[in-house]
Amino acid sequence: MKIIAKSICKEFDIMKNQFYHENLSRQVQIVGQMRGGHRRNILESDADASRLRKGLSLPSRRLVPCILAALTAGTVTLGALPCAYADPIVRSSVTEDIDAPDGVAGSIDGSAATITIGTEGGGTSPEIKHGSGFTAVYGSRYRGAAPSFTLQGGRAVIRSGRMRQLYGGNARVQTTGGADASVQVTGSSVTLAGGRSTDVFGGYASAQSDSGNAYAVARGNVVHLQGGEYQAVHGGMAETRTNAGSSTAIAEGNTVYISGGTYRYGGYIVAGWARRNGAGIAIARNNTIEITGAPGPLPALSGGRVSDPSDISENNTLIVRRTKGITAISVEFFQRFVFYAPADLAAGEPMLSLPSGAPCVELEGAAVEAYLPGSSTADVLTLLQTGVAGITTDAATKMTVYEGISGTLANAMYVDSTGKKLLVRRDGAFQFTGGDNAKSLAETMAGAAAFLGTGANLFTDGGLASASAEAASASGFAPFAAMGGSSLRHETGSHVEMKGMNLAVGFSRALQRGNDRLLFGPLVEYGRGSYDSYVNAVHGDGTVRYLGMGGFVRREQANGMFYEGSLRFGRSDMDYAANIRMGSGTVHTSYDTDANYIGAHLGIGQQVTAASGTEREMYLRYFYTRQDGASATLSTGDRYDFSAVDSHRVRTGVRWTMPQTGGALILGTSVQYEFGGDTSATYHRPGGLSYTSPSPSLKGFSGSLEVGWKAAVRENMTANVAVEGWMGKQRGVSLSAGVEWMF
């Protein structure tokens, strides 16, 4: 036996040298004798067999070692040898025609990789082919006999070109000797923006065992159909094959996004396909097809395909989002239907239509949701229009209609008397359910008012000190400036996290009146920040900006007492965006609005300088800010009015400036109380009805600790910087900086 094995090894060494050094072309077909007496063609695909029958080369770096190991171990005979071919050519991008007998791939070991084919506007160039036939493109690919393998993160981007199969991730595990085979392909994707392909797979997982168990999972894979030409599209496909064991195939959480592209005759699109042979189970669940924009005619659409009626297809979703006039050959294997009606959908204009020859749309036991824009005025809207077969429902069919982000309409969705149209009427009983959503909208106004308060603190803490110092060294008006940044969380019953910068600049002049000094001047203030608001599960974000002007006056007495006041007015601009959960879906909404504001403050305090040079400042200040109300029409069509925000705030504190070597140390502490700061949002529905949200409020105590440093930068210039930490109703840190020039 050893002599025979050695002889066989020698023969295969000769074959190896021929394959690699002489590049011989020959016809090869290996038919295996399986355990149990079953015969099968073990060529990897029909395309491979065709290639070999045409006399094309069979180079493989893995063929000889695998064959020799199997023969030496005595586990197989020559008749049972698997056939191995050339691996795909490894490339990160292909922009010119390429001869690729087994295709091209970003990786061939199953590691995460991206491959990009073609260029924008490149049409059907480059061609991925061998001889007269086109070959495959893989983001990541794996072939092996390991009992278990997981491929994650393969990606293929097609801008132009022509190929046969197209995979984001493709993994195949094939075992013999009764060993189990397990494979998973997750998180892979294909973006088809141009070019031409026959079969498209976001992720493909194949497990094959001669007599063991086979287990394959395709999970969380994505296909983006943006352009190009295709025939068969699969978000994720899991396929198992075994002759004696149990077969389990699972396709779940895969998605196909459709915004463009053209299908060829016989085409179809499947979100998730679980296919098995023999005993076991196939499961296709939580897969989604989402149609956006205005793609052309679509082929047959399937949510979750399985091999047998006894298998499981559940919670697979068809989403038609903000588009209309879409046609498809058929709609099958969906258990959820979600329609986001566009704002310009007119009465009698269907969002999705099926031809007369389409099979029945089965809504038995299904969940059907419609999301209407708040601005829609049509009395009846058509979601789905079918042909002769029509639409079927039963008592378990659940239909829900949402209006904007604000509420629901009861008993508003129905199938018409012909059984061919799925309709929504606007006269259903409205129920306001958007309390949290409306409060989230109002948080923007509360955050903007709080941000104006941060600017007021900057002016009184740093701007007035700079104005006083500049005026002391000038005979006329002298410029001053103070700048600060902050990251503060404002508790409002929910909370707003605000980050931004504030600036106060102006001119100051001092007039001597006996032992007293009168300080006055104009000022300009500016602020820009971003925020995140959180109301239970609703997370909003946006920006706040304000620009204003005004003036100030301050009287400083010889005994250190001072009295001060300011008046400011301007305009603030706010925008908001959020993905808001409505029902089982998510609705994106946004708005942009602005409002006038006015602010004022009055203060009293005393500055005392000790013999050591330490300067102590005690102060009590009252701040008033009013931000006017505003209105906004959301991107979802909902119309809201926002109430004005009146803020009444008192702050008292003490600050020490202590001379040190090279400068001065600044320490301070303060307490403030907000008496107001309430706001709300009111939803106005066509017909005169209105609903008001719960009110966020800034009311409450906050305290701060401050530490800073002041030092001479040059002979006539002094700079200071301070950090203030806040706790209580207002939490976080603020940073302020100022410069004093001596003119």
pLDDT exceeds cutoff 70 at 423:
yes
- Here the tokens at position 15 are 């074959």
Averaged pLDDT of the chain: 87
Residue 592 — very low, low, confident or very high, per pLDDT cuts 50/70/90?
A: very high
Q: Report cis status (omega within 30 of 0) of the bond before 295.
A: no
The string of pLDDT tens digits covering residues 390-400 is 999 999 999 99
Give me the pLDDT at residue 3, please. 36
Res. 83 pLDDT band, cuts 50 70 90: very low
Count of helix runs (H) and strand runs (E) in the chain: 5, 55
pLDDT at res. 150: 98
3-state per-residue secondary structure call for 1-40? CHHHHHHHHHHHHHHHHHHHHHCCECCCCCEEECCCCCEE
718 pLDDT tier (thresholds 50, 70, 90): confident
Q: Average pLDDT for residues 575-594, to the nearest whole number? A: 91
Local confidence band at 567 (pLDDT 50, 70, 90 cut-offs): very high
Q: What pLDDT band is residue 704 in, cutting at 50, 70 and 90?
A: very high
For 332, the token pair is 């099958």
Range with the poorest average pLDDT among 297-306, 472-481, 546-555, 593-602: 472-481
Is residue 619's pLDDT more than 60?
yes
| Position 59 pLDDT exceeds 50 | no
Q: Whole-prediction pTM value?
A: 0.76
How confident is residue 45, by pLDDT bands cut at 50, 70 and 90? very low
pLDDT band at 741 (very low <50, low <70, confident <90, very high): low
Average pLDDT over residues 303-323: 96
Cα separation of 168 and 92, whole Å?
13
β-strands 214-219, 181-186 pairing: parallel
The whole-number pLDDT of residue 583 equals: 83
Name the least confident of 126-140, 465-479, 507-521.
465-479
- Across 264-286, average pLDDT: 95
pLDDT at 343: 87
pLDDT, mean of residues 646-659: 96
Using an 8 Å Cβ cutoff, are 136 and 108 in contact? no
Q: Which residue is it, tokens 């749309």?
A: 361
Lowest mean pLDDT among 321-335, 353-367, 553-567, 680-694: 680-694
Q: Which DSSP string do the residues of 438-467 spell out, in sequence order?
A: HHHHHHHHHHHHHHHHHHHHHIIIIIHHHH
Letter string b/e over residues 183-202, b meaning 16 or more CB atoms within 10 A of that residue's CB = bbbbbbbbbbbbbbbbbbbb
- 244-259 mean pLDDT: 97
**pLDDT tier at 743, thresholds 50, 70, 90:** low
**Ranges 236-245, 421-430, 520-529, 713-722: which has the least confidence:** 713-722
CB-CB contact of 312 with 277 (8 Å): no
pLDDT on residue 738: 76
Query: Could you tell me which residue, 532 or 67, shows the higher pLDDT?
Result: 532
Average the pLDDT over each of 62-66, 526-530, 659-663 and give the range with the smallest value. 62-66
3-state secondary structure of 653: strand
Per-residue confidence band for 427, with pLDDT thresholds at 50, 70 and 90: confident
Give the range among 58-72, 194-208, 365-379 with minimum mean pLDDT.
Answer: 58-72
Average pLDDT estimate for 87-115: 97
pLDDT of 457 over the 80 cut: yes
Half-sphere exposure of 709 (CA within 13 A, CB side): 7
pLDDT confidence bin for 115, thresholds 50/70/90: very high
Residue 742: per-residue pLDDT: 59
> What does the pLDDT look like over 162-208, one tens digit per residue?
999 999 999 999 999 999 999 999 999 999 999 999 999 999 999 99
pLDDT at residue 30 in the model: 27
Residue 556: its pLDDT value, please? 92
